[in-house]
């Protein structure tokens, strides 16, 4: 530090003396530990020239920014990582890929035991034709009159009594009973005929 004249050195000493707190700040300590920075600092204390002040300001900004930015990014990444992890774990817990694992630590029931079994093979229809799988019978019912088909549907799909069907269709119970029996007889004769044809 011989290149500094004694007057300058005095100034620096004076500054150091009156700014003990400032110089013991860990950031400033670290900043001045760099030789280039320290030279700049001495220069800045000695000469109040604007250009030098600006330079030390700029250097310190870079130094300070570096520290702040790195620590900010590091903690942001760290906490964001933890949060993401928590989210994933929560999601995994709520939508597990394994069904035979105990729901929680105490119970022995597993998820697969809690799954509801839904019987889904009932046909949601009121038409008798939708329940027929035999093509011969299907054709036979198709050949009946619309009225007879309706009555068959109500009687055998919905399970209504003749009286109820009569009330629904605004007919007498006797008429309903007669058409139903006639329909059944027609079906019987058609089926018997087709059986005979098969035998031949």
Partner 1 sequence: MGQLNLYELAKRAKKEEIAREQILELFQPKIKKTLLQTAPHHREDVEQELSIKLLNVITMYDLDSAVGFWEFHEMTQKRKKDAKRVVE
What are the residues binding partner 1 (CB under 8 A)?
Answer: 19, 21-22, 25, 27-28, 31, 34, 36, 41, 44, 53, 56-62, 64-66, 68-70, 72-74, 76-78, 80-82, 84-85, 88
User: What is the rounded distance in angstroms from the CA atom of residue 97 to the CA atom of residue 107?
Assistant: 19
Comparing CB distances to partner 1, the nearer of 24 and 120 is 24
Least CB distance to partner 1 at residue 99 (A): 19
Taking the complex as a whole, the smallest distance from the CB of residue 39 to partner 1 amounts, in Å, to 13
CB 21, min distance to partner 1, A: 6
SS3 100: coil
Nearer to partner 1, 70 or 99 (CB): 70
First to last CA, the chain: 127
Contact at 8 Å (CB) between 70 and 30? no
Of the pair 27, 103, the CB lying nearest partner 1 is at: 27
Dmax (CA) for the chain in angstroms is 135
Q: Which lies closer to partner 1 via its Cβ, residue 35 or residue 108?
A: 35
Listed in sequence order, the residues at least 6 apart from 7 whose beta carbon sits closer than 8 Å to its beta carbon are 46
Q: How far from the centroid of its chain's Cα atoms is residue 160's Cα?
A: 47
């Amino acid at each position: 530090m011989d290149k500094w004249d004694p007057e300058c050195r005095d100034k620096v000493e004076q500054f150091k003396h009156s700014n003990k707190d400032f110089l013991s700040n860990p950031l400033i300590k670290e900043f001045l530990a760099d030789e280039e920075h320290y030279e700049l600092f001495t220069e800045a204390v000695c000469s109040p020239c604007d250009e030098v002040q600006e330079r030390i300001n700029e250097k310190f900004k870079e130094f300070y920014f570096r520290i702040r930015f790195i620590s900010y990014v590091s903690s942001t990444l760290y906490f964001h990582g933890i949060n993401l992890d928590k989210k994933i774990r929560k999601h995994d817990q709520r939508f597990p890929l394994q069904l035979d694992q105990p729901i929680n630590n105490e119970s022995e029931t597993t998820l697969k035991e809690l799954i509801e079994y839904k019987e889904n093979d009932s046909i949601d229809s009121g038409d008798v034709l939708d329940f027929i799988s035999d093509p011969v019978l299907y054709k036979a019912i198709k050949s009946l009159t619309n009225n007879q088909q309706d009555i068959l549907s109500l009687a055998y799909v919905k399970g209504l009594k003749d009286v109820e069907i009569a009330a629904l269709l605004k007919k007498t119970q006797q008429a309903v009973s007669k058409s139903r029996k006639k329909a059944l007889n027609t079906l019987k004769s058609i089926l018997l005929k087709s059986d005979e044809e098969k035998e031949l």
